[in-house]
Amino acid sequence: MQDPLPPTADDMDRCVDDLRTALAAHGIALPSLRLDLPAFAGTYAPPAVLVALGNCNTATARRLIAVLHGSARTASPPPLDLDLLAVPKAVPELRRTVRDYLGVPCADVQLCVTELVANVIRHVGEGTPIRVRVACTDDGGRVRVEVTDPDARALPVLVHADGDEECGRGLALLDAVALRWGVEQRADGKTVWCELDSPEE
């Protein structure tokens, strides 16, 4: 089955990444096959852009990804762990990475990640090193988001901002969409976390 339009290089990269993620959820690591899909796929000249695994086109690869994701519902994928600096320009890519990891639209999860990182930027400082973790529960029913930073003192406080106030809405939004949230303090920092229902396809 041919794609309606020839896929772009960006489409191909995203498709390969999605396929890697879907296979990883089943315990299949492509590096163990000694095959680098982007490099291999790049040897094909347009418009015959192929995914190297099985030499299928991107439409077939996307169907394979959907099947793999569907059969992996009972087994959660490994957590997504990202170490980065809390800067505004990192947020759009972080949102895309979270969407790719979950494999379905996930506006509420992306919102929570965005607000937790923005909270670090605002109250700890721009450029603070952070760790972002997104994990699915074993039964696939919930998604847990964690943002860890090195400042144990700057604790988030839920405030109800008035209509004219520009600040203070982040945690209120998180509180509205999350099932629950909290803070884990340690001597070397803190983790702010929240849990949400898993997004539906």
Same domain, yes or no: 133 and 65: no
pLDDT, residue 85, reads 97
In a domain, 2, yes or no: no
Same domain, yes or no: 42 and 109: no
Chain-centroid distance of CA 127 in Å reads 20
In a domain, 21, yes or no: yes
pLDDT, residue 54, reads 52
Same domain, yes or no: 49 and 90: no
Same domain, yes or no: 127 and 93: yes
Which residue range forms the structural domain that includes residue 141? 80-197
- What the block records as the tokens of 157 is 């406080």
Same domain, yes or no: 148 and 93: yes
Stretches in the chain below the pLDDT threshold 50? 1-3, 31-37, 40-41, 44-51, 72
CA geometry: angle at 122 spanning 117 and 123, to 5°? 100
pLDDT, residue 58, reads 65
pLDDT tens for each residue of 104-159: 999 999 999 999 999 999 999 999 999 999 999 876 689 999 999 999 987 877 76
Write down the pTM of the prediction. Answer: 0.60
Question: Which residues neighbour 37 within 8 Å (Cβ) at sequence distance 6 or greater?
Answer: 16, 19, 20, 30, 51, 52, 53
Nearest Cα residue to 192 out of 170, 165, 159: 170
pLDDT, residue 37, reads 47
Structural domain tally of the chain? 2
